[in-house]
A and B are shown apart, each in its own frame.
Chain A
Amino acid sequence: MKRSVFTRISALVFALLLALTGCASGGAPASSPAASAPQSQEAAPAQSQEAEPLPATDFPTKPVEIIVGFSAGGGTHLAAELLTPEAPNFLGQPIQITCKPGAGGAVGATAVATSKADGYTLLYATMSLPISLYMDSVDFDADDFVGVALASDVAPALAVRADAPFDTAEELVEYAKAHPGEFSWGHPGVGSTLHVLGANMLYAMDIVGDVTEIPFAGTSESISAVLGGHIGGAVCFPASLTEQVKAGELKIIGVSSPERIDDLPDAPTFIEQGYNATLTSTRGIFAPASTPPEVLAVLDEAFEKIITSEDYARRGETLGEPPVYANAADFDKMYREQCEMIEKLLKEIGLVD
Chain B
Amino acid sequence: MSLILETLAGFFSIQVVFALLVGVAVGIIGGGLPGISPSMTIALLLPISLYLPTTVAIALMMGAYQGAMFGGSVSAILINTPGTASAAATTLDGYKMALNGQAGKALLMALYASCTGGIIGTVILLAMAKPLSAVTLKFGPPEYFGLMLLSLALIAGISGRSLLKGVISASIGLLFATVGMDPIYGSKRFTFGNINLGDGIQTLSIFIGLFALAEVLSQLSKGKTELYQKPNTLTVNDKLSFAEYWSQKYNMVISGVMGALIGVLPGIGGSTACFVAYAEAQRRSKYPEKFGTGIIDGVAAPEAANNAVCGGALVPMLTLGIPGDVVTAILVGALIAHGIKPGPLLFIDDIGSVYKVYIALMLSVVALLIIGRLGIPVFSKIVKLRKAVLLPLIFIICVVGTYSTRANVFDTMMMVGFGALGFILNKNGFPIPPMVIAFVIGSQLETSLRQSLLLSNNSPVIFFTRPLSCVLIIGAVVFAAFMVRRNRKMAMKEVVVINDAGEEEVL
Interface residues of A (CB under 8 A from B): 5-6, 9, 12-13, 16-17, 19-21, 23-27, 71-75, 77-78, 81, 98-104, 106-107, 110, 135-139, 181, 184, 189-191, 212-218, 220-221, 223-225, 227-231, 239-240, 242-244, 246-247, 249, 315, 318-320, 351
Determine whether the beta carbon of A9 is less than 8 Å from that of B385.
yes
**Further contacts, 20 of them, CB under 8 A, given A9-B389, A215-B183, A227-B322:** A9-B393, A16-B396, A20-B400, A24-B407, A73-B40, A98-B407, A100-B407, A106-B198, A190-B186, A214-B141, A214-B454, A215-B447, A220-B324, A223-B320, A229-B137, A243-B342, A244-B343, A246-B345, A247-B345, A319-B337
B43–A73 CB distance below 8 A? yes
CB interface residues, B 29-50, toward A, < 8 Å: 29-30, 33, 35-37, 39-44, 46-47, 50
**B407 proximity list for chain A (CB < 8 A):** 24-25, 98-100
A71 to B327, CA, bound (A): 12
Q: In the complex the two chains form, is A78's CB within 8 Å of B33's CB?
A: no
The answer to whether B195 and A110 touch across the interface, beta carbons within 8 angstroms, is: yes
Q: Mostly helix, strand, loop or mixed at chain B's interface?
A: helix
| B47: A residues at CB distance < 8 A | 27, 81
Nearest CB to that of A82 among chain B residues? B47
Q: Can you name the residue of chain A whose Cβ is closest to the Cβ of B344?
A: A247
The distance from the CB of B449 to the nearest CB of chain A, in whole angstroms, is 12
A224 to B320, Cβ gap below 8 A?
yes
If A9-B385, A227-B320, A249-B344 touch, whether A20 touches B198 (CB-CB below 8 Å) is: no
Q: Which residue of B is nearest A22, CB measured?
A: B44
A240/B321 in contact, CB under 8 A:
yes
What are the residues of chain B within 8 A of A102 when measuring CB–CB? 195-196, 198-199, 406, 408
Cβ-defined partner of A217 (8 Å) among B39, B139, B329, B447: B447
By beta carbon, the residue of chain B nearest A212 is B454
Q: Name the A residues within 8 Å of B457 (CB-CB).
A: 181
Cα distance A101–B405 in the bound complex, in angstroms: 9
In the complex with contacts A106-B198, A224-B266, A244-B321, A73-B330 CB distance below 8 A: yes
* Cβ of B451 under 8 Å from chain A: yes
Q: Is B366 an interface residue (CB 8 A)?
A: no
Q: Chain A residues with Cβ under 8 A from B405's Cβ?
A: 24, 72
CA distance A89 to B118 in the complex (A): 44
> Separation in Å of the B271 CB from the closest CB of chain A?
15
**Interchain CB contact under 8 A, B400 and A78:** no
List, in ascending order, chain A residues with CB within 8 A of B397's CB: 16
- B341 contacts partner chain A, Cβ-Cβ < 8 Å: yes
**Which 10 interchain pairs have the tightest Cβ spacing?**
A243-B343, A103-B198, A230-B140, A190-B186, A73-B43, A228-B137, A318-B337, A247-B344, A24-B404, A73-B39
* Shortest distance from the beta carbon of B263 to any chain A beta carbon, whole Å: 13
Chain A residues near B326: list those with CB within 8 A. 71, 73-74
> Do B404 and A21 touch (CB < 8 A)?
yes
B182 adjacent to chain A (CB < 8 Å): yes
Judge whether B401 is part of the interface by a CB distance below 8 angstroms. yes
B193 in contact (CB, < 8 A): yes
Could you list 9 A-B pairs, sorted by A, with CB under 8 Å? Answer: A13-B396, A71-B326, A72-B40, A78-B46, A99-B407, A100-B408, A224-B137, A228-B136, A243-B344
**Docked pose: A225 CA to B408 CA in angstroms:** 34
CA of A24 to CA of B400 in the docked complex: distance in angstroms?
10
Contact between B337 and A103 (Cβ–Cβ < 8 Å)? no
Q: How far is the CA of A216 from the CA of B385 in the complex (A)?
A: 47
**Residues of A contacting B136 with CB < 8 Å?**
224, 228
**B35→A20 contact, CB < 8 A:** yes
Q: A13-B396, A21-B404, A24-B404 are in contact. Are A103 and B195 (CB under 8 A)?
A: yes
- The answer to whether A221 and B266 touch across the interface, beta carbons within 8 angstroms, is yes
Indicate if B478 sits at the interface (CB-CB under 8 A).
no
